[in-house]
Amino acid sequence: MFRPCLLAAICLCGPAFGQSTIQPDIGVCRNTPYSQDNCVRIVGCLGDQGLQFDGKARGWDQGTVWAQISDFTQCAGTWDSDGPLGTGIGQMICEDGVTMDVIYYSQDSITGTVIGRGKDSVGRLIQVWSGENVLEFLTPDGSDIARLPCVSGDIPIS
């Protein structure tokens, strides 16, 4: 039995009953401004129990997004920067059926730097950062490692 496609940009079709059909985005990720081949890293916090995610956003002005949560759940979706004053919307669905909605604010479109917040379908808060220089942005002065400033406390990332 197959379930229907849920997102137009990334087809999540495939077997039902919890078998994952979301494929990891293993391609090379390079910031290429003004190109649909553009790709930047995304990182974020999910809820207040120490979950984080890491992934990629591809495209320009709109595109696809893929992330893996620290519990190994994979998620995929779309993003669109069509909002006023540099705002955009990102949406993902995860292989466990949880959906995520984020509103983000562009800090620098050339580097793909955005900061966003949202909620998932089970009520957990989401914090998101992306961009070519996201790790540098999240590295406190004098520190050797980037840290996600999550609700549950800072989480080191590399």
Task: Kindly state the helix (H) or strand (E) to which residue 92 belongs, with its residue range.
Answer: strand 87-94
Q: What is the CATH number of the domain that holds 83?
A: 2.40.128
Structural domain count of the chain:
1
- Which parts of 6-70 are beta strand (E)? 14-15, 39-46, 51-60, 62-69
Q: Is residue 42 within 8 Å of 132, Cβ to Cβ?
A: no
Tens of pLDDT, residues 112-152:
999 999 999 999 999 999 999 999 999 988 888 999 999 88
Residue 20 lies in a domain: no
Say what the pLDDT of residue 132 is. Answer: 94
Ramachandran angles phi, psi of 85, nearest 5°: 55, 40
CA separation for the pair 81, 154 (Å, rounded) = 28
Q: Which residues are bridge partners to 63 per DSSP? A: 59, 79
Residue 76 lies in a domain: yes
Say what the pLDDT of residue 20 is. Answer: 55
Residue 31 lies in a domain: no
Tens of pLDDT, residues 63-90:
999 999 999 999 999 999 988 888 999 9
Question: Which residues span the domain enclosing 129?
Answer: 2-12+37-136
Say what the pLDDT of residue 71 is. Answer: 96
Query: pTM for this structure?
Result: 0.82
Residue 63 lies in a domain: yes
The residues near 143 (Cβ < 8 Å, ≥ 6 apart) are: none
Residue 19 lies in a domain: no
Tens of pLDDT, residues 11-22:
333 344 444 568
